[in-house]
């Protein structure tokens, strides 16, 4: 299974990514969790010990590796470099493993933006293509709203795009923007998951505002999520309510992908 999870900053997409990663690992699946968000907080949500999290270096910041594989120095724009560098060894070499989940950090391109024609961009796109098309593992990708690392070559191979939204207009607008961006790269279906839901009224607001997004479940508001972040423990362990709700979402996904 390959899942790409996106949403407005702060809505809790990383929380959902971490919960699903441990759920699938608990089912005996080999799971690789990809942190493709510049905020890079998936290690915290998974509760990685600080010394282990520090070993998860962002691929986009590995200048020597990028130059070796692409033939050009990071930071250069234009010029000649390999558009399809070798990346097949990267998931095993540069991921860290905790409780059955391998974590790999992509990092962000410095100064180039999503459309950067540069060695770093070529490296990350080749890596994501390999992960989605060839890596035989359950993949959970914690994206940013722009889906910048995905393109037409890989989007069709993702089993599900999940937009996470809070019960608010701006959050839902971002979810619909994700739906539009996904459609532009050939993905017709984007699932909606609500997070930080306090009551039935908020849940109904999300349902009534889905407007073309397939709603597959929600996570309740739980102070334990914030407490987990402050204590540096996995949200999966800190909140049985969230873990149970994520189990239901995982069960909803099973017949859909």
H-run or E-run covering 123: helix 119-133
pLDDT in tens, 238-256: 999 999 999 999 999 987 6
Residue 74: pLDDT band with limits 50, 70, 90: confident
CB 13 within 8 A of CB 21: no
Dihedral sign computed on CA atoms, order 147, 11, 205, 252: positive
Per DSSP, what are the bridge partners of residue 33? 103, 140
Q: What is the mean predicted confidence (pLDDT) over 96-121? A: 79
Tokens of 136: 């035989």
Higher pLDDT, 246 or 178: 246
pLDDT value, residue 237: 96
- Please state the domain extents for the chain: 2-253
CB 81 within 8 A of CB 122: yes
Q: What is the DSSP letter of 137?
A: S
Which CATH architecture describes the domain 2-253?
3-Layer(aba) Sandwich (3.40)
pLDDT value, residue 66: 95
Q: What is the DSSP letter of 156?
A: T
Please provide the distance, in angstroms rounded to a whole number, between the alpha carbons at the two ends of the chain.
7
> Above 60 in pLDDT, residue 113?
no
pLDDT in tens, 155-170: 778 888 999 999 999 9
Most confident of 97-111, 153-167, 205-219: 205-219
pTM greater than the 0.85 cutoff? yes
């Amino acid at each position: 299974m390959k899942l790409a999870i996106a949403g407005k900053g702060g809505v809790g997409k990383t929380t959902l990514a971490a919960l699903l990663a441990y759920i699938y690992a608990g089912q005996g699946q080999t799971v690789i969790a990809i942190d493709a968000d510049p905020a890079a907080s998936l290690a915290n949500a998974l509760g990685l010990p600080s010394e282990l999290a520090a070993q998860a270096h962002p691929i986009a910041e590995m200048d020597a590796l990028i130059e070796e594989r692409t033939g050009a120095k990071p930071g250069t724009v234009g010029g000649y470099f390999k558009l399809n560098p070798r990346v097949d060894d990267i998931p095993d070499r540069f991921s860290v493993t905790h409780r059955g989940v391998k974590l790999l950090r992509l990092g962000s391109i410095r100064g180039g933006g999503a459309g950067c024609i540069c060695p770093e961009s070529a490296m990350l796109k080749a890596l994501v293509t390999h992960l989605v098309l060839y890596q035989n593992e359950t993949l959970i990708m914690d994206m940013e709203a722009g889906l910048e690392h995905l393109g037409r070559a890989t989007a069709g191979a993702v089993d599900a795009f999940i937009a996470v939204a809070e019960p608010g207009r701006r959050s839902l607008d971002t979810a619909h923007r994700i739906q539009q961006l996904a459609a532009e790269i050939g993905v017709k279906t984007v699932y909606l998951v609500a997070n930080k839901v306090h009551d039935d009224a908020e849940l109904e607001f999300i349902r009534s505002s889905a407007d073309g997004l397939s709603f597959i479940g929600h996570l309740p508001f739980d102070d334990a999520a914030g407490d987990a972040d402050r204590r540096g423990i996995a949200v999966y362990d800190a909140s049985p309510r969230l873990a149970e709700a994520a189990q239901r979402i995982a069960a909803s996904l099973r017949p859909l992908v």
